[in-house]
Amino acid sequence: MNITKEQIDNLNAVVKIAITKDDYQDKVDGILKDYKKSANIPGFRKGHVPMGLIKKQYGKAVLVDEVNKLLQDNLNKYLTEEKLDVLGNPLPKQQDDFDWDAETLDFEFELGLAPEFDVNLKGKKAITQYKIVADDKMIDEQIERISKQYGKLVSQDVVGVDNEISGTFSNEAEEIENSTTIELDKIKTKKNKGLFTGKKVGDVVTVKTKGLFEEDYLLSSALGIDREKAEGLDIEVNFTISAINQREAAELNQELFDKLFGEGKVTSEEEMRTKIKEDAEGQFAQQAEQKLLNDVTEHLIDNTKFDLPAEFLTKWIQMTGETELTEEEATEEYSKSEKGLRYQLIEGKIIKDNDLQVQFDELKEFAKGFIKTQMAQFGQLDPAEEELDSIAARILSNQDEVKRLSEQLMSKKMLDFFKENANLKTKELSYEDFVKEVYG
């Protein structure tokens, strides 16, 4: 067997493989002899079928199968030994009227080669690293929500300005019939609020759905319909009142603190505010880090310039899917996936150049940290190390879980690397301002 490589350009090459009969004949003959021993062909006793008939019936199929195995094994070995960094998989060149009886069988495979490039994280323009803080307004609103949530309901005779009203929304034509509880302060406009104010249990209020609530998303849950149907819905609905309540806020006392945070962990309103701030900013940090990861990714894709073997990759997409695509479909698919492929190559280079591979011991500790967080949500704050090791071993025996956790750990490693090496500027702002700036 002879394998050679023809370099077309920096991104494309052709591997040529010449296979002679010496490479496969012994193997083919051995398989055909086994076939001869076990073949059941009418007119012949088992094991006495003429070899000529065996070769005629099975010879070509066995030959093709063995040659394909040789090709696959030796091509993969060649790519590894030559350290060729290929994109996709080698594509066999089509050969019309191929002669399987020739003394030498010649095959050619097209290769798409990964480009050489450098990654520069120190761009001239700094990338914003957001630090989201929980301001006093947010903490005040959270405490107010908690006080209401853990407060008590006091029945009222008539609807007042800040009451909770239970009842049923209905509209026969739209098949709406949904029992719910609404807060009057969530109703939009004084006019709509006025339709409810002063009403009693048993009264029916007719309102228009368009612009009924301060937040549009509340309409779908109030009417018991999906958001798509609720969006832009402009009809009249009846609301039959079944109960009117005033929610009295709970006192900020030790009983409430223990109920919220565990016995004795918080002992004053000041400590409660500190805990709410810490918890909120912990959640905000995850959003800020995801934003940073997205922004650095976009920066690297936009500023790391290299060519790809686009023609080869388009052909590879066209030929290797579950169903063969047209050239136009493959071109469109390549266009959709190009940015993702570019980032995979950039990420791979960063990982290789900076030795960021995930080690098993790291993965195990990462899994144990994940387990501890999950257990803490169910009140198990100090699990034994032996228990964590046992659960982690069970999780890491599942390949899907290993893949998922490895991806999460690698994402964390990449984020830490970007924080240390990218050109970043820190911007501190409230969550409300963060949402406005990032999402518009």
Task: Give the separation between CA 203 and CA 198, rounded to whole angstroms.
Answer: 10
Q: Which pLDDT belongs to residue 225?
A: 93
Q: Which pLDDT belongs to residue 8?
A: 96
> What does the pLDDT look like over 128-152, one tens digit per residue?
999 999 999 999 999 999 998 899 9
> What does the pLDDT look like over 167-226, one tens digit per residue?
999 999 999 999 999 999 999 999 999 999 999 999 999 999 999 999 888 999 999 999
- Token pair of 303 as six digits: 């500023």
- Give me the CATH topology for the region 152-248: Chitinase A; domain 3 (3.10.50)
Element (H, E) at 307: none
Q: Which pLDDT belongs to residue 266?
A: 93
| CATH 3.10.50 domain extents, the chain | 152-248
Average pLDDT of each block of 10 consecutive residues along the chain (440 residues)? 95 96 92 85 81 88 93 94 94 88 93 95 91 95 92 93 94 94 93 95 95 91 92 93 94 93 92 95 93 95 95 93 89 95 95 93 92 81 86 92 94 94 95 91
Q: Which pLDDT belongs to residue 44?
A: 82
Q: Tokens 């100090």 map to which residue?
A: 382
Task: Give the separation between CA 138 and CA 276, rounded to whole angstroms.
Answer: 10
Contact indicator for 198, 244 with CB cutoff of 8 Å: no
User: Options 3.40.1010.10, 3.30.70.1050, 3.40.50.150, 3.40.50.1820; which CATH number does 2-113 get?
Assistant: 3.30.70.1050
Q: Bridge-partner residues for 28, per DSSP?
A: none
DSSP 76-95: HHHHHHTT--EEEEEEEPP-
Q: Which pLDDT belongs to residue 36?
A: 85
| CATH 3.30.70.1050 domain extents, the chain | 2-113
For residue 72, give Cα distances in angstroms to 23, 75, 149, 226: 14, 5, 66, 53
Element (H, E) at 288: helix 269-303
Q: Which pLDDT belongs to residue 69?
A: 94
